[in-house]
Structure formats: C-alpha cells, structure tokens
Chains A and B, each alone.
Chain A
C-alpha cells in the first residue's frame, strides 16, 4: 500500500504542471535545489573559520551555540512561510479502502523528506564532526548534531500543527518576523543578550546527554497531536485546498482605493491578488525582509563596487521580485481584463503607481533605519530610489510584456518557477549591473558631484515624464496583446 502511495506522489511530482512547462525550468529547479544544498554544506564547512574571523578571541563553540537561538527563530519563520501543508494532496484517497490513521501517518512520515531537515544536517554536520568532536569527542559530536536535528524535527511538527490550527492564514509570519528583527537588533546592538539562552542550553546538553529526550519527546507528542488532528479532519471541507472564509480586515482597508477611479480599482484588485494567494504573498513578505537584509549588508560592506550592485535592491527588491512576473500574476483572468472598459494606459498606470508605492514605502523603512546609522549611505540609497522609480519601473513593465507565461497564483511558493522564462531572469541583471557600471565609470570620469547630479536628474525626469513613458509602453502592449493572451491560454 505504502509503495503505491509513494509511486503516486512520485508521479504527481514528475507530471506536475509546474515542473512540466519546460525542460529548462525542470533543470533549473534541480540546479537551484542542488545549489542550495551545496551552499548549506559549503557554509557548514566554512563555519569555524567564519566564527573565528568574526570573534577571534572567543570560543567558537559557545559563539555558535549562542547564535542558535536566532537560527531556530528564523527556521520557524521560514517554515511557517514555506513549509507545505502535509494534507495537500490526499483528497483522492478519502473514498478508497485506506484507513484514516494510515493516511495520517503516511502523510506525516512523508513530510520528513523536506529541505529544512536536510539543511540542518548539511549546515551543522561539518562543525559537529570537526570542532565539537575535536573538543569533546565523537559521542558528544553526535549528541550535539542529534539535538539540533531533534529541535528541527520539533519545529517541523510544531509548524504542521500551526498550519492546521490557523488554516494557513494569519499574521503570524509578519509578527514573528518583526519580533526576530527587533530581537536581533537589540541583541547585536548590545542592549540585551539573548544568546546566553542557547549558549547555556547547549552547554547543559553537552554535559547531560539525556536532555536530548526533551525535543524528541516534544516531537513525538506533536506528531501524535498532528496525526489525531489529521484523522479528525479527513473531510474535503477541512482540507487546506478547500473552502475558506473570505477575510475582512485588510480587505476593508483595500476597498478605500476603489474610490479613486479605475486606477484605484485596479490597484485594489492587485493588492487583493497579492494578499489572498499562496504564492504572491510570501514573495512580498520575503522581499521586504530581503530589503532589510540588503541594508545590513550595505552598512557592513566597504567595497564600493559591491555596494553598488545592491543599491537598487535596497528599495527595489519588492518591485523586482513581484514585477518579474507582472502580467503572469493575472494570467487566469486576463481575457476578462482585456474586454473591460478601461484603456491599456490606465491599466499600466495602475502598475506604475503600485511599484512607485512599493519603492517609496521601502525608502521610508530603509530611511528610518539609515538616518540613525549612516546618512551618506542614505543619500546613495535615495538617489538610486529615484532611478528605480524613474527608469527601472518602465524596464520592468516593458520587459515583462515580452514573453509572460501563465502561472497559478495559488500554487506552491518554494522552488516554483512556473511563469519564469529566460526574459524574467534576464530582467534582474540590469538591476545589478547598471548601478555598478554607472557608479564606477561616472565617478571615475566625471567625479562624484556630476554623477549624483546626473542620476538625480535622470530619475526625476523619468518620474515627471511618466505619462508619455506609459503611453509609449501602452502602444507596445497593444501590439503584443494577442501574443500575451495566446500565451496565457496555453
């Protein structure tokens, strides 16, 4: 029986729409997964060196143990956002001669085959068998790694329970994410010390091996809680893919946009699209974190050329990551949009204002942080924000027109390259290359003053001329309209 079910899930993976769009996408997906594994392993191997470089005068084991608190918090956050609901594809089996408990155990055990558990091992095994074994012996090395694995397993089952309870819709990721960032800031700015929690915990674990039973027992308890929950909810209407109640909170706020004419209506539609779909929402949330992270990287980096590559992303990550698939997000109802009573220019204007708002909100957030830390960096980010809005918005809107592919907005988030094509990937390159080239060459040939003046003027000019820019893009769109529609109907 188990082998049959496993064959089914194997087939559903290989024959899925997401994967079978093209061979290139399949290869790319595997490539990215392999790369991620390789990165995790590489980072794991480098870990002792990295730690000794950051804090050379401290014991690297206790430093790593201390940081674990943040690792676990981030793991929890990523799991909440990305972990797939285990009961996702079992509706076919409900009417078959398979017992509910069997299904529940099958789904839960199968869920162990996931990237998070693997990454934990890849990331920490080198450290465990290198540094820990070196100081404490082989048994303690296994113990240390085993404890981390058990905690990961505990988080795994905790998130399954959370998903079942919240039905996947809550503000938890945002709240948790904000808390983590705050805690990390408080910790690393020196106002408080959270690292002593895991530092102490792991020190105790290394002395008392039996403590490893705590996360194991918690995992077992949660496992049985999860399985009981699943068995009790093996009905079509309690499966995750089924009926959900429409949310009110954010929606009522969004509906205010409706009073701003057709453009406002189109923006409200797009915001609802982002908020209510499984694939689009995490992209926005993750991109916001990415912007804050890039900011951190910008502050710590001193190399001018490297800084330049990330300048646009500091206020443009949300715009780029979402905008890459601009028209594809709406592929499922594009026919409808094209028969409705508004002009292409109006439609594109709504996209422009949306991206403009994304970037401006990012600038405000980034600015609030930078104003206390590094004002010269703030000027640089602000200058590139102008270029974002005055140049790159048009590049995104125009670029995504070339070959958009259909996608399922409610599809999975992780390693889902549905809708991605060569053009979508190429679109990102100018965002990294142009600031680099401009900053280096203009600085060299013209000097800093003229570089800043040139960039500011270009950006402002692009923003001021948005009407004629969008009119031109609208012409291009009208020419490509049938091709886009044909592509979406495939």
Chain B
C-alpha cells in the first residue's frame, strides 16, 4: 500500500524525518510510537502530502503522492483539529465528507448508527457547532469522519489521546472491526503502548526521525517497548 524511498525532511539543519526504505503492505495495521518530537506527525504529514519532503518520496499504491491525487479517493485521515471545520455541526461535517466520498445519505445514516455507543449521545442531534464541543467529542467526530466511505487506508495521529477510558476501549474495538471487515490498512501513532500494541500487528519506533525498531512479532512486543522507553 505504502512505499517510502529515501524520505528526508529537514527543518533548517534539524532532521525531522529520515527513512531510507519502508514498505507497508495492504491490510497491515501499522503502529508508530516515539517520544515527543520523534517525527511521528511529520511522517504522517509527509505521507498525506501536506508538507514537501526535502528528499525522497512517498508512494501510495505505487503512485507518488506529491504528483498524483488518486490516493485521496481511498484515504481517510485525522491528524489534529485542523481537520475539523469548527463552524459546522457534526451532521453537516459528516455530510460534507460523505458527499465528497460519494456516500449516499442512507448509507451515511447506517454508517453513523454503528457509532451510537461511541458517541454516547453527545454528538449527534445536539444542534451545536463543532467548535463549541468538548475536546473529546471533537476527537470522536474527526475519527469517525475519517472512516466515512470505508477508506482502504486510514491515517490517525494519537487517536486515543483526549478520550475517556470507555471511549478508548470502544475505539479499540472499532479499529479492530474495521481491520476485520474492510481489511483496512491502518497507520496509527500513539503514546499509549498498551492500546497501540493491541490494535497493531507491526510496531515501529521512531527516534529523532529515524526508525530505531521495527517489530512484527507481537508476542513480546509490549515488554520490549517498555524496556526501550524506560
């Protein structure tokens, strides 16, 4: 699904990301961990063609993201609040994305029904603009918005942060279901080692922009990560 070739992003002389080669196969759930400033968000922005790489390229389905727009049709993403439109109600926001993804109103309704428990009756039908909602609910809106139209690739930055414990557990189940039913390729970054190891089958550790660990054997991954970060 994703190939990275000699990707490098410098800010002045500071190296934000430097990845020689990386391949993320279709259907893989890929977890990205690392301390603050390790380059996780920068990597995601490079993959989503939101910043220009200093060198190298990112390919999605063998097409460079910088030159072609095809990836947008099957990619859902939520990195931060700059993916939300504050002056819309959640319904309007979802409708907007559904329209762009050519998802019908009926399909959107049945899609949103799946998230009734996740939304906990605090999101839909409240006649409130997104900017007036709590951080947690904003996060939920962004996450669900990214999943509209059953994207083949889902890129989520820190999806568990700002959510209450029940919502974190529900989100974990939602992500696992998504992998199960749609075979979605997932890129998830997180500071929560427990959650990310439960959801992802491959964990990559970034440090100062470099890949320092790439673990595909999940049997003992949590202990290994805890040892690394301790």
Residues of A within 8 A of B (CB): 242-246, 251, 255, 258, 262, 265, 269, 272-273, 276-277, 332-336, 338-343, 409-410, 482, 485-486, 488-489
Partner of B75, one of A269, A339, A489: A339
Q: Are B100 and A269 in contact (CB under 8 A)?
A: no
- Chain A, residue nearest B149 (CB): A341
Chain B positions 177-229 with a Cβ under 8 Å from a chain A Cβ: none
Q: Are A333 and B82 in contact (CB under 8 A)?
A: yes
Q: Are A341 and B101 in contact (CB under 8 A)?
A: yes
Please name 16 pairs of A and B residues whose Cβ atoms are closer than 8 Å in the assembled complex, sorted by A: A243-B128, A243-B132, A246-B127, A255-B92, A269-B88, A269-B96, A272-B88, A277-B87, A332-B81, A335-B50, A336-B82, A336-B84, A342-B72, A342-B100, A409-B87, A482-B52
Q: How far is the CA of A342 from the CA of B70 in the complex (A)?
A: 9
Q: How far is the CA of A342 from the CA of B95 in the complex (A)?
A: 15
Q: How far is the CA of A336 from the CA of B75 in the complex (A)?
A: 12
Q: Are A272 and B87 in contact (CB under 8 A)?
A: yes
Q: CB-CB < 8 A to A339: which residues of B?
A: 48-50, 72, 75, 77, 83
Q: CB-CB < 8 A to B132: which residues of A?
A: 242-244
Q: Per-residue 0/1 for B39-52: is the Cβ within 8 Å of any A Cβ (1 yes, 0 no)?
A: 00000000011111
CB of B129 within 8 Å of the partner chain: yes
- Chain A, residue nearest B76 (CB): A339
Q: How far is the CA of A246 from the CA of B81 in the complex (A)?
A: 20
Interface residue tally on B, bucketed by range: 20 to 34
CB of B121 within 8 Å of the partner chain: no
Q: Are B83 and A336 in contact (CB under 8 A)?
A: yes
Which residue among B52, B100, B127 has the maximum number of chain A CB atoms within 10 Å of its CB? Answer: B100
Q: Are B51 and A265 in contact (CB under 8 A)?
A: no
Partner of A486, one of B49, B51, B69, B84: B51
Q: CB-CB < 8 A to A269: which residues of B?
A: 85, 88, 96
Q: Are A276 and B72 in contact (CB under 8 A)?
A: no
Partner of A246, one of B51, B89, B100: B89
Q: How far is the CA of A410 from the CA of B81 in the complex (A)?
A: 16
Question: Chain A nearest CB: distance from B53 CB in Å?
Answer: 10
Residues of B within 8 A of A (CB): 48-52, 69, 72-73, 75, 77, 79-89, 92, 95-97, 99-101, 127-129, 131-132
Q: How far is the CA of A335 from the CA of B47 in the complex (A)?
A: 13
Q: A245-B128, A246-B89, A251-B92 are in contact. List 6 more A-B contacts (CB 8 A).
A: A258-B95, A269-B85, A276-B129, A334-B82, A336-B85, A339-B48
Q: CB-CB < 8 A to B77: which residues of A?
A: 339
Partner of A340, one of B72, B79, B84, B89: B72
Q: Total A-B residue pairs with C-beta atoms closer than 8 Å?
A: 83
Q: CB-CB < 8 A to A255: which residues of B?
A: 92, 95
Q: CB-CB < 8 A to B101: which residues of A?
A: 341
Q: CB-CB < 8 A to A485: which residues of B?
A: 50-51
**Given A265-B100, A273-B87, A333-B84, A482-B75 contact (CB < 8 Å):** no
- Chain A, residue nearest B69 (CB): A343
Question: Chain A nearest CB: distance from B77 CB in Å?
Answer: 5
Q: CB-CB < 8 A to A262: which residues of B?
A: 99-100
Q: CB-CB < 8 A to B100: which residues of A?
A: 262, 265, 340-342
Question: Chain B nearest CB: distance from A247 CB in Å?
Answer: 9
Which residue among A245, A246, A258, A482 has the maximum number of chain B CB atoms within 10 Å of its CB? Answer: A246
Q: Are A265 and B52 in contact (CB under 8 A)?
A: no
- Chain B, residue nearest A340 (CB): B100
Which residue among B69, B87, B129, B131 has the maximum number of chain A CB atoms within 10 Å of its CB? Answer: B87
Q: CB-CB < 8 A to B81: which residues of A?
A: 332
Q: CB-CB < 8 A to B49: which residues of A?
A: 338-339
Q: CB-CB < 8 A to A488: which residues of B?
A: 82
Q: CB-CB < 8 A to B96: which residues of A?
A: 265, 269
Q: How far is the CA of A341 from the CA of B76 in the complex (A)?
A: 10
Question: Chain A nearest CB: distance from B125 CB in Å?
Answer: 11
Q: CB-CB < 8 A to B69: which residues of A?
A: 343
Question: Chain A nearest CB: distance from B190 CB in Å?
Answer: 20
Question: Chain B nearest CB: distance from A245 CB in Å?
Answer: 5
Closest A-B pairs by Cβ, 6 of them: A482-B52, A336-B83, A335-B82, A276-B87, A341-B72, A246-B127
Q: How far is the CA of A341 from the CA of B74 in the complex (A)?
A: 8
Q: CB-CB < 8 A to B52: which residues of A?
A: 482
Q: CB-CB < 8 A to A273: which residues of B?
A: 87
**Given A272-B88, A485-B50, A340-B82 contact (CB < 8 Å):** no
Q: CB-CB < 8 A to B73: which residues of A?
A: 341
Q: How far is the CA of A242 from the CA of B95 in the complex (A)?
A: 25
Q: Are B51 and A482 in contact (CB under 8 A)?
A: yes
- Chain B, residue nearest A245 (CB): B127
Q: How far is the CA of A245 from the CA of B127 in the complex (A)?
A: 6
Q: How far is the CA of A305 from the CA of B6 in the complex (A)?
A: 61
Q: CB-CB < 8 A to B88: which residues of A?
A: 269, 272
Q: How far is the CA of A222 from the CA of B73 in the complex (A)?
A: 57
Q: Are A333 and B85 in contact (CB under 8 A)?
A: yes
- Chain B, residue nearest A346 (CB): B100
Question: Chain A nearest CB: distance from B82 CB in Å?
Answer: 4
